[in-house]
Amino acid sequence: MTRRNNMILYKTESEIAQMKEAALLVSKTLTEVAKVLQPGMTTLQIDKLCADFIKEKQAISSFLNYRGYPFTICASVNDVVVHGFPNDAPLKNGDIVSIDMGVILNGWHGDHAYTFILGEVPVEVLNLVKVTKESLYKGIEKATVNNRIGDISYAIQEHTEIKNGYGVVRELVGHGLGRSLHEDPQMPNYGKRGTGPKLKENLVLAIEPMINMGTKDVYTEEDGWTVRTRDGKPSVHFEHDVCVKKNKALILSDYSIIEAAEKANTNLNSSYY
């Protein structure tokens, strides 16, 4: 049984195994996107691809109808930070697009995101993507027993904001994950080392740096969902599902299959590796 402690839920080993299956289904779905993504496609087409794929796998979208959200994925292009609505505008060479999605499989949620680069972009954008992805793994390194939430937060902030001068979004954070899409604790991408809840084994977190090229400031459009950078500069979003362990965090999702498809797709730019 899942154990409750101060509203934070810790999973059993068998529950972690089921959560990994859900996380891997998200990874496999994002891999399908990586195989076909190209200029001229629309994010509505990507939404349909993802919806069809998870239905084929007998899973349910975590996002569709969640608090009224009307799509299977969030598709956030260029200066959209998160929660972008899929639409019928063709993607262009030089766009960056974050695809964020979740599934429910056997009652458990998987939820993660990946930012793709279409064709050629300025070196400054490549570096933003590279540093944001690196910061995700620096945060994951701290997701071990007896560290604290603030240790993860600071590791992300140090690499992105302190060392590279990027804007770390304050209004949006990562979160616990399990039978609910959003569980305690909240997982900010900024903070102080040694603060926040102490990490215990088998806490599952969705760690998701949302990093802006310019200011940290954002605003939400009238649709109530789409979050954009205040200065109109690009934003990058990566997210993994991570289980806290004693010596090394267990990553439940899998970027390697997404990255392999990304590298094989000549329409996508993976030169930041």
Which of 3.40.50.12280, 3.20.20.70, 3.30.360.10, 3.90.230.10 is the CATH number of 3-264?
3.90.230.10
| Whether pLDDT at 103 is above 80 | yes
- Give dist(CA 157, CA 190) in Å, integer: 5
Domain boundary assignment for the chain: 3-264
In degrees, rounded to 5, the angle at the alpha carbon of residue 83 between the alpha carbons of residues 81 and 84 is: 80
Q: Which of 105, 128, 141, 157 is nearest to 234 (CA)?
A: 128
| Residue partners of 48: CB distance under 8 A and separation at least 6 | none
Mean residue pLDDT across the chain: 96
pLDDT (tens digit, 9 = 90+) per residue, 150-205? 999 999 999 999 999 999 999 999 999 999 999 999 999 999 999 999 999 999 99
Tokens of 182: 């959003």
What was the pLDDT predicted at 1?
37
DSSP state letter for 80: E
pTM metric for this prediction:
0.96
